[in-house]
Structure 1
Amino acid sequence: MDEVEVVVAHSERATLRVGDVFLKVDADQARIDAEVEAMALVPVPTPEVLWRKPPVLAIAAVPGTPLGRLGEPSTASPAVWAAVGAAIRKLHDTPLPPRLGRARGLDELAAELDVECELLVTNGVLPADLVTRNREVAEAALRPWTPAFTHGDLQIVHVFVDGDEVSGIIDWSEAGPGDPLYDLATLTLGHEEHLDDVVAGYGTDVDLDVIRAWWSLRSLLAIRWLTEHGFDPTAPGCEVDVLKSRM
């Protein structure tokens, strides 16, 4: 019998791997429903759904290897990063999903950011000047945008490549209408050296200042959650280092 590997586990959800099968356990059925619906709609490679029995979704492993990991150098070539950019453009050009989620409003996002910044400083998690500077940088992301079909959590580890091609994109539970530049920022978080390659594949309509703003905004919003769920945003190359790079 194959070993059971815990891929990720926290209080909201867990993912286990048994051989070539991933078992996603999620108490929020809406997230599972969104993931299955999104994978059926998008024009990029996704895992095959094997079966569903709430609260578990079973999917097949995709071929290839992750594009990289946050905090580690990526060995993928510029051509591969450009291919990922092209795949993301296909996703963003797809008609908006009829039922998947909603984009957060600017006022809602700004309010959430202000709360997190205050908590980071009040609780002594980060120095005030670091938070203040990145809150200023993040402001550029708080502008009107045209919603696109976005992945919503396009971390580098969620993109698999095989040779020079994208072989699969996983974890679609946050898919729905959103800012397309947020996807590009999430993908390149901590891998700024590959941003030009991604943009070369993605094409036009890319404001690099907004992508950099999303790096700050995403990191500021994520640090407390990551810490509370057993992750380390202070690890080399991760969220705190991303914030320090804006100073």
Structure 2
Amino acid sequence: MCGRFALTATPDAVQSMLGVMELDPFPPRYNIAPTQPILMALSGPSRAPGSNLPSRSALLVRWGLIPSWAKNPADLPLLFNARSETAAQKASFKTAMRHRRALVPASGFYEWRRVGNKRAEPYWIRPRHGGVIAFAGLMESWSEPGGTEMDTGAILTTEANARLKGIHHRMPVVIEPQDFERWLDCLNQEPRHVADLLKPAEPDFFEAIPVSDKVNKVANAGPELQDRAERPADAITAEKKSSDKDDQLTLF
């Protein structure tokens, strides 16, 4: 799953990566949580004549998709993630999957590894090459009874790759830059045409860094959340065994 992530890149870096019009300034965000606003990029109007740049629009949405048919969001669970394997069939996501696929810029995400029955250890999971990446997202607009419209969204997830499954069995789908155009093209590309993009990142794409449990509290939002934390010896041993096993599996 993906319940927290960060976007610490500059607006210029995000703009360049997404291929969108100039973005308004925004500060680095180290602990983005569901119900908070997140940035999404969608396919925009047709590109200007003679332009080689893709036409994409950026907007802020509430992280937690509300289907357009929902009468009362309080009656629904908080839909901040969508399983990529079933999104095209699920009533809550199938319309967005067909008409409003999006990109969610991120610097990485947080995940928790369950240790025993009580303790969960947080990790900051970031791309090894650094920089900003794009998660696969879905956007949906919902109209309140009073007529006010709210844009909402979810992040698509898939099974974890061999490197990360020792922490959690799910991970966000990462869309590579060369696939942006196809993923966002909802006019010509049906969900079945882009299903091949909904796969785990390569095992060496991310690195996982143990961090303190300060990230558990949404109110904590500083860069210290991503500092490496010491961990008990038993946890280190457990992680090494899991990693060794995963490495062996990747040979076959």
- TM-score for both structures, normalised by structure 1: 0.27
Is the strand fraction higher in 1 or 2? 2
Q: TM-score, normalised by structure 2?
A: 0.27
Bigger radius of gyration among the two: 2
Higher RCO (CA 8 Å, separation ≥ 6 residues): 1
